[in-house]
Amino acid sequence: MLVDLDYFYAQCEEKRDPSIKEKPVVVSVYSGRTEDSGVVSTANYIAREYGVRSGIPISVAKSRLREVDAVFLPVDHAFYDEMSEKVMVILRSYADRFEEVGIDEAYLDVTERAGRDYGAATEIARDMKGEVKAHLGLTCSIGIAPNKVVAKIAADVNKPDGLTVVKPDAMREFLNPLPVGSLIGVGKKTEDRMKAMGIGTIGDLAQIDEKTLIDTFGQKLGSYFRRAANGIDDTPVQERGERLSVSRISTLKEDTRDLKAISRLSDRLCDDIYSMLIERNLGFTSIAVVAITRDLAVHTKSKTLERPSDRPEILRNTATALLSELLDELELPVRRVGVRVSGLAKAETPNKRLTDFT
């Protein structure tokens, strides 16, 4: 089954201050460039009635809510992380196997404790929803199905506070009428490409021969689409390992092509990443930068070191060099700058020593 906490950030804010829960609540990332620049991260269902959705500019949200007593709040990740941890402890206790997906989502394999019975699985889900509600006051939506791909879609069709069960015999009729965009992995771009091929629903997709799909979308995606559309997925529910990368991105106060201004911001991002690496005693092997230009186009450049490093100046200098190269390839001014490190490796020596002697 897939458990998805409803409108998570906004629901957390409603718990912190229950007086707002009868109003539209909009939680946003403010870029700091102007008073209202930034985008909506999550909105509660009252705000959604006004067309306020994740990803729209704050200014758009404000104009859609201009005649209403709405609450606009900045994101508070520390608080949501804390709530998430508490939820995950409860969810994990209901699972044979557990896989945390994001801050607000998790897959649970309950096959064994439900004795392969969908009625029993449904009872488990109800109990779990009850406990999350009683202990933390949060609602969630749950999809129960024979596999992860279908469970995810099932959780999506009935929100908030939903519980949808799709048994093996019902998979075809459940999936066929849904738009291809319901499938995980089919975003806007892929959906447009499929539409152009005359594929609108999952049922349409299920009929396309595998060769065509592989030729169009590549080996992995093509065969995944084919199987997923037919309700086939044998990927296990399993614990996720350590994080593979750490990144920071931020918006410049104003668009610029001045390397000084760009590297000033880049240095800040590097320092922030570096302090995270120190905390976890990690080195990095690969450094990538991203520059988002005035037209919101994304440009990246990366470099892999010959061996892992734990030196902050390597991080800073490499990032700036990459950004300088990237800038040479671009014509428009830069709006946002980001740095990402990957190839994370445990540093051999304890941190104290590292900073003292290397």
Partner DNA sequence: GTATGCTTTCGGC
Partner DNA sequence: TTACGGCCGAAAGCATAC
Residue 164 CB, nearest approach to DNA (Å): 15
Instruction: Give yes or no for a contact between 7 and 89, defined as CB atoms under 8 angstroms apart.
Output: no
Residue 107 CB, nearest approach to DNA (Å): 11
Instruction: Give yes or no for a contact between 202 and 176, defined as CB atoms under 8 angstroms apart.
Output: yes
- If the CB atoms of residues 112 and 254 are measured against DNA, the closer one turns out to be 254
Instruction: Give yes or no for a contact between 109 and 121, defined as CB atoms under 8 angstroms apart.
Output: no
- If the CB atoms of residues 20 and 290 are measured against DNA, the closer one turns out to be 290
Facing residues of 278 across strands?
none
Residue with tokens 């998979």: 171
- If the CB atoms of residues 188 and 352 are measured against DNA, the closer one turns out to be 188
105 in catalytic set:
yes
Residue 44 CB, nearest approach to DNA (Å): 15
- If the CB atoms of residues 114 and 194 are measured against DNA, the closer one turns out to be 194
Instruction: Give yes or no for a contact between 203 and 62, defined as CB atoms under 8 angstroms apart.
Output: no
Residues 6+ apart with CB under 8 A from 125: 1, 3, 142, 144, 163
For strands 282-293 and 140-144, give the pairing.
unpaired
Burial pattern 314-328, b for ≥16 Cβ within 10 A else e, equals bbbebbbebbeebbe
Sign of CA dihedral 200, 206, 212, 217: positive
The secondary structure of residue 320, as a DSSP letter, is H
Give the footprint of DNA on this chain (CB under 7 A): 8, 29, 31, 33-34, 37-39, 41, 54-55, 57-60, 63, 75, 101-105, 152, 183-190, 217-222, 224, 243-251, 286, 288, 290, 296, 298-304, 335-336, 340, 342-343
- If the CB atoms of residues 212 and 300 are measured against DNA, the closer one turns out to be 300
Residue 9 CB, nearest approach to DNA (Å): 9
Residue 300 CB, nearest approach to DNA (Å): 4
Distances (CA, A) of 208 to 125, 175, 192, 200: 35, 15, 16, 12
Of 105, 112, 306, 313, the active-site residue reads 105
The secondary structure of residue 245, as a DSSP letter, is E
Q: Residue 231, SS3?
A: coil
Residue 241 CB, nearest approach to DNA (Å): 8
The distance from CA 196 to its chain's CA centroid, rounded to whole angstroms, is: 27
Three-state SS annotation for 70-119: CEEEECCHHHHHHHHHHHHHHHHCCCCEEEEEECCEEEEECCCCCCCCHH
- What is the set of active-site residues? 105
